[in-house]
Amino acid sequence: MKKYNSIVDSKTIDHADLGVDILFKDNLIRKFIDDNKYDNIIYKAVKYHNKMNLNYELTAKEKLFCKAIRDADKLDIFYVATYDNNIKDFYILPYVEGAKLNSKVKEDFDSHRLVDLKNRKTAIDKLANILAFIYDLNLDASKKTITENTIDNVINTFIKTFNVKDTDECLYLKNNILKYLNNT
């Protein structure tokens, strides 16, 4: 973040690809682990942790580690969406008072899928994008960390950051996420 003054990959560099380069290009991985027998798993877990899906040929062990790192990344995003002081930079999309969810974002969200980034138009779409990460949590331990309080914190930070007066869309997102969590 310091080098690029942003945590937003679309404004800078794909942080997963950068992570792989840092670890493996100059063999920095050897500072963390002597044995190279896990390099392929580590490489793939880092490389694919932020991709839209895991449609790659992976062994069962590689897939497990990829899912664990993907979950950790999403949980970190929930933390950033709640506590980071640069939250407006995090949203990158404009806040439009009274904006409704883009229909394609709403369709993804209502179908319990990750939101396709190209369909986001406003900050409320980005909020839906963040909350939809819950649909892609893989491990039970990750899912258990998400509570109504977590969702409230993310939404309340969004409301406070943008001084949102009309919270209808926020309430819609919250209710749908809670309904999903209660049924899983």
Q: Is the pTM of this model over 0.85?
A: no
> In this predicted model, what pLDDT tens digit does every residue of 84-114 receive, in sequence order?
666 666 777 778 888 899 999 999 999 999 9
**What is the rounded average pLDDT of the residues 124-147?**
93
> In this predicted model, what pLDDT tens digit does every residue of 22-51 receive, in sequence order?
999 989 999 999 999 999 999 999 999 888
Quick one: CA dihedral 174, 179, 180, 182, positive or negative? Answer: positive
**What is the rounded average pLDDT of the residues 158-174?**
89
Report, in angstroms and rounded to the nearest whole number, the Rg of the chain calculated over CA atoms: 17
Chain-centroid distance, C-alpha 132:
8
Structure-model confidence comparison of residues 14 and 175, the more confident one = 175
48-81 as b/e, with b when 16 or more CB fall inside 10 Å?
bbbeeebeeebeeebbebbbbbbbeebeebbeeb
CA distance 37 to 24: 14
pLDDT band, very low/low/confident/very high, at 3 (cuts 50, 70, 90): low
